[in-house]
Structure formats: C-alpha cells, structure tokens
Amino acid sequence: MKIKNYTQFLWQQLGLLALTAGVATAGAETTTTMSTTSAPISAPSDDVVSGMLKLDFNTHFISYGADVWGDGSSMSDPGFNPNLELYFALPGDLTLTLGTWWDVNSKGDSPIGGRLQEVDVYAGLSYSIDKLTIGLTYQAWMYANAEGSNTEDILDLKFSYDTFLSPSLTIHQRLDQGAANGDEGTVIVLGLSHSIEAGPATISFPLNIAYFPTGGFHQNFVAADPGKPAIPASFGVAAEDAVDPTPQIDEADTGFGYASLGVAASLPLSPLIGDSFGDWSLNAGLTYFVTNSDIIPNNPSDSFLTASLGVALSF
C-alpha cells in the first residue's frame, strides 16, 4: 500500500541520514521549511550533548515566501509543527546538530497517513570563530504528492555574527526539487534581529529579506486560456484554436522575493512550574510578510499576517 511504502521510504531516509551525518558538513542553525516566529532558544553551552524540543501551533506554513497551504489572510486553521534538535559539542569549536521537523494538519489528504503531511530531517555542522559562526546544513524534506513519495533535498550555508542586530546571511540551495512546484535553484536571505528584556520575558524583532538569483524557484501553473474549454487539436479544430487541457508552467522571475518583519516573545515557565519538568518556556509571535507575485506567483495574497503559539523545552 502507498502508506506502507512511504513509511519504509521514510525509515530508509532516516537511516541514510544517520550514517552520513558524521561526515557531512552541515549547520547547527538550520533553515527548515517552517517560518517560525518564536523567540530564539539557545542550546545549553556547558553540556557535550544538549537539545531542544518545540511544540508550536502556526497559522501558516511558509516556505521561503510561499504560502504552502494557501491560508492567505485566514488564521482559523492552524497546523501543529513539532521540532526536535540535538546538539553535540565537538573538539575545535565545532557543533554537530541533528534534527527533525513535522507538519501535522487537516488542510489536505495525506498520502503519508492521518494528518501527517511532511517530515523533515537534517544534519548540520557549524564552526565558531570569536563572534562569527559558519554553518552548513543538509536537509531532506519528505512529503508526498499524487505520484507518491518524494524528497526535496536542501543544502544551506549560513553566516551569522554576534553583534548589534545579529546579522545573518543564508544561502539556501535546492539540490533536488522532489514534489516542489519549482526548479532547483538558490535563495539568498539577509536576516537582522534585535531583542530586549521586558521583565522575565525576552521580546525580539526579526527582519528577513530574500533575493532569488535564479528563476523558476516557485513556479506558477496556469491554463493556456481560461476563457476557452480544454479542447485538444486532435478533435478536429484548428491547431491555433486548440487549448491544451493540461496546465502550463509560467517560470517565475528573479529578483526580490519577499520580506518579513516579526515580533516574538519568550517567557520562561520555571518560576511558575519549577525545574522538575525541565527548562520550559512559552513562546508566541506575529510575522507580517510582503511577497513579490513575479517571484512567488501562487500565494493567495501578496501580503499577509501569520501567528504562532507554543512551548519549548531546553535540555
């Protein structure tokens, strides 16, 4: 059955990632498909092995400016996105990161099974030099379409500097499109963020601006002529009057793709529940997106607001 085959495929990918993570050069700070708005949570730096578990509800699933489920201005049907990361402190100021992110919702039929729409796994290696951190991350985004299971392969190179506004630059490279409606290509994202303390809470203001140097990363599927019925030429009509019944692909342009500005808050829960249950925090955020329809043509709205709410455990 399709579900059984996909489950076997998923475990094969997890096994392959586990075997290659030790030698792959990937980054501790990953750029997964989910556009999170929670305040950043730092892994404990004193332990050789540490980790983070996030349990978030998000109104939208945003993948590099693309509103994946087409929620637009609606916030009425949030999805559940658990995220687990493990950090391994290595000699020479290196950090190995292994992680997984899931998309669980009822916004479409899942070929995987139940409400599980996507499973991402990733492995990263980062190196810190004073305030500069350089990371390389391999990611396998596993989801399915009508043709069956597919894996979108991603390689991210990220530079971040620990100074005012916390600047970062991410070079996002799609190695294999999988079931994505787009070509292999590159997205360059400049990130800035500023945080303030408000009593026990930390409030941050992240800004991201994305440039698409390659065309066709997000493609648009449009009918040849929506005003005519789909009539192939073989039905006795002139070729110039025929309409291809299959959608045509409209290549997206290059240039500015999107910008996002958010506000996020993180509140530690230890003063309320104690330390017996671990180092928990409550996180919430809002992010406003402005997208370019020439680059990202399938969004219901070119500008929209997203929201998130969740809890996180650092260990």
pLDDT 10s digits, 29-47: 333 344 433 334 444 456 7
Structure tokens at 151: 């894996």
What's the number of domains the chain is made of?
A: 1
What phi and psi, each to the nearest 5 degrees, are found at residue 43? -70, 145
Residue 147 counted as domain residue: yes
* CATH number of the domain within which 49 lies: 2.40.160.40
pLDDT category at 149 given cuts 50, 70, 90 is low
Residues 84 and 264: their CA atoms lie apart, in Å, by 20
Residue 305 counted as domain residue: yes
Which is higher by pLDDT, 290 or 250? 290
> Which residue range is the domain that position 140 belongs to?
2-63+77-217+252-314
Residue 227 counted as domain residue: no
Residue 236 counted as domain residue: no
Residue 308 counted as domain residue: yes
Signed CA dihedral, 2, 122, 118, 250: sign only:
negative
Q: List pLDDT tens digits, range 212-235.
A: 999 999 976 544 444 434 444 444
Q: Identify the H or E element spanning 174.
A: strand 168-176
Residue 68 counted as domain residue: no
Q: List pLDDT tens digits, range 90-136.
A: 999 999 999 999 999 999 888 788 899 999 999 999 999 999 999 99
Residue 283 counted as domain residue: yes
Residue 266 counted as domain residue: yes
